[in-house]
């Protein structure tokens, strides 16, 4: 499991072998939208997990997420792990819808 890494504006806290909790906060002129609230949950995709983004215009931008470190292989319908990642040896293309 990787180490805990924390700074005043960014942090990564491992919670299992393949997942971690991350936060990021930015201040001043970070976002051009008056207000943003975004909640999503992704499965069977690269870095799958739950994401929460909240911001107030030019005041702050906050992102909280729990995500999987692995990449998803659509062809094999399974997770790739370091060492067996097909994407490392091939040209990246966007996922097919």
Confidence band of 97 (pLDDT split at 50, 70, 90): low
**Amino acid 50: pLDDT:** 93
**Amino acid 96: pLDDT:** 67
Cβ neighbours for 90, distance < 8 A, ≥ 6 positions apart: none
Whether residue 93 lies inside any domain: the answer is no
Tens of pLDDT, residues 29-87: 666 778 889 999 988 887 789 999 998 887 888 899 998 888 888 888 888 866 555 55
**Amino acid 86: pLDDT:** 54
- State whether residue 90 is helix, strand or coil: coil
pLDDT of 7 over the 70 cut? yes
Whether residue 90 lies inside any domain: the answer is no
Whether residue 96 lies inside any domain: the answer is no
Whether residue 94 lies inside any domain: the answer is no
Whether residue 1 lies inside any domain: the answer is no
**Amino acid 46: pLDDT:** 79
pLDDT of 2 over the 80 cut? no
Whether residue 32 lies inside any domain: the answer is yes
C-alpha to C-alpha distances, 2 to 11, 27, 32, 76, nearest whole angstrom: 12, 28, 34, 26
Whether residue 97 lies inside any domain: the answer is no
Count of domains for the chain: 1
Tokens at 22, concatenated = 């991350």
Tokens at 13, concatenated = 């806290």
In terms of residue numbers, what domain contains 27? 8-82
């Amino acid at each position: 499991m990787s180490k805990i890494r924390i700074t005043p504006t960014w942090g990564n806290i491992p919670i299992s072998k393949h997942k971690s909790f991350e936060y990021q906060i930015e201040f001043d002129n970070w976002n051009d939208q008056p207000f943003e609230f975004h909640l999503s949950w992704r499965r069977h995709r690269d870095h799958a997990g739950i994401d929460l983004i909240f911001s107030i215009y030019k005041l702050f931008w906050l992102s909280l997420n729990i995500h999987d470190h692995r990449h998803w292989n659509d062809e094999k319908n399974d997770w790739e792990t370091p060492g067996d990642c097909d994407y490392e040896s091939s040209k990246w293309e966007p996922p097919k819808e």
